[in-house]
Amino acid sequence: MPVAEVLPSATSLPPTATAFQPLSATATIPVYATFTPTIPVPTATPHPLEKYTITAMRARLYGNAAIQMVGQISDEGEFSREKFRYVSDGINIYGFVNIPKGTGPFPVVILLHGNYNTVNYKLMPYTTGYADDMARQGYVVFHPNMRNYGESGSGDDAYRTGQASDVLNLIAMIKAQGGQSGALSMLDPNKIALWGYSMGGEVALRVLTITNQVDAAVLYAPMSGDLLKAAKFIQSDFELNTPPDMLNRISAQASYELITVPIRLYHGTSDKTVPVGWSQETCTVLTNLGKNVECTFYEAAGHSFGGHQNVDFMKSFYAFFETYLK
């Protein structure tokens, strides 16, 4: 800090010194730069759970890599089944994609699997049957094995936010590569739907609160978007102990007002795995928010549909896709 100079008084000047004389009116007064001290502004340390909040996930970027075709798995006549790979937040994600024969452009469905045994998970789980049928109906179907499943790499997945990131990265890559020259030239990047089963339904709900780059979503016996209900379902003590001040900021259900996508939800009334009441609550909340949602509850159906109920289910969601994707 500058110290003020103290001038000696005229009476104390030595005999040879000249008393202070004011500058003449025509004199040039030197101008010196003003010193402004820089005061560091303290920055708040982010809460360690902040990165999982809907706000934080909406603020970040996705899709800074590319989908790579690894090779053909099989030729199914009406479509080809290919293995694909992409990088999501530094993690290798594998899966298969069913590509209808023809030049397209074909609308895209991203099929999200449920909560299987991670040790015995295979590249093609039982939901492959739905993916195959969709391809025969003229849809390119991506079926990723989300992180911690199958051949895909391991990574942070608290609150299923890691899996949501895997889907958001895939959507961004489809948007960037679809319709361009190369392996994905036949797909329409402007027509993308999510089809989520069980846990995949919960992941889809989170994704829908974060992006508006999806045109339609089918939820099949979905887990709840209510964070505490989902945490109890997967028996996660870490998630159950989420501080109350972070709970709503992470929970997808608390952000349903951000959803802009039409939704078709299906659930069996005798589901012993995921309570049908969760879907009833999801439908009520979305309806009260004025969202475009329609819900069907199959009497006596379990967690997976069979027989005539499965036939009706497929006929119904295809009609839904026809409305919003074709």
Which domains, and CATH codes, for the chain?
Answer: 68-325 (3.40.50.1820)
Give the per-residue pLDDT at 326: 87
Phi, psi of 277 (to 5 degrees): -60, -30
pLDDT-derived band of residue 298, with 50, 70 and 90 as boundaries?
Answer: very high
pLDDT tens for each residue of 277-292: 999 999 999 999 999 9
Residue 127 clears pLDDT 50, i.e. is over it: yes
> What was the pLDDT predicted at 25?
42
**How long a stretch of residues is the chain?**
326
Q: What is the pLDDT at residue 182?
A: 87
CA–CA separation, 23 vs 16, rounded Å? 20
Q: Please report how many Cα atoms fall inside a 13 Å half-sphere around the Cα of residue 149, on the Cβ side.
A: 25
Q: Which residues pair with residue 294 across a beta bridge?
A: 264
| Cβ-contact 155, 147 below 8 angstroms | yes
pLDDT-derived band at 183 (thresholds 50, 70, 90) equals confident
Measured CA to CA in angstroms, residue 286 lies from 9, 81, 161, 292 at distances of 84, 36, 21, 8
Structural tokens at position 263 = 């939704």
Determine which of 62-66, 126-130, 228-232, 255-259 has the lowest per-residue pLDDT on average: 126-130
Q: What's the rounded Cα separation, in Å, for the pair 291 and 261?
A: 8
The mean pLDDT value for 187-193 works out to 97
**Mean pLDDT of all residues in the chain?**
88
pLDDT in the model for residue 23: 39
State the SS3 of the chain: CCCCCCCCCHHHCCCCCCCCCCCCCCCCCCCCCCCCCCCCCCCCCCCCCHHHCHHHHHHCCCCCCCCEEEEEEEECCCEEEEEEEEEECCEEEEEEEEEECCCCCEEEEEEECCCCCCCCCCCCCCCHHHHHHHHHCCCEEEEEECCCCCCCCCCCCHHHHHHHHHHHHHHHHHHHHCCCCCCCCCEEEEEEEEEEECHHHHHHHHHHHHCCCCCEEEEECCCCCCHHHHHHHHCCHHHHCCCHHHHHHHCCHHHHHHCCCCEEEEEECCCCCCCHHHHHHHHHHHHHCCCCEEEEEECCCCCCCCHHHHHHHHHHHHHHHHHHHC
pLDDT digits over 9-28, tens only? 433 333 333 333 333 444 44
Q: Residues 191-200: what's their mean pLDDT?
A: 97
Per-residue model confidence (pLDDT) at position 78: 97
Dist. CA 213–CA 158, nearest whole Å:
24
Q: What is the pLDDT of residues 40-61, one digit of tens each?
A: 555 567 789 999 999 999 999 9
What integer is the mean pLDDT of 172-185?
A: 93
Angle between helix 199-210 and helix 161-177 axes, rounded to 10 deg:
60
Flag whether the pTM goes above 0.75.
Answer: yes
Q: Residue 33's pLDDT band (boundaries 50, 70, 90)? A: very low
Is it the case that residue 6 has pLDDT exceeding 90?
no
Percentage above 70 pLDDT, the chain? 83
Return the pLDDT at 141. Answer: 98
Rounded to whole angstroms, what are the CA distances from 269 to 178, 278, 299?
Answer: 39, 11, 5
At 86-126, the pLDDT tens digits run: 999 999 999 999 999 998 999 999 999 988 666 666 665 66
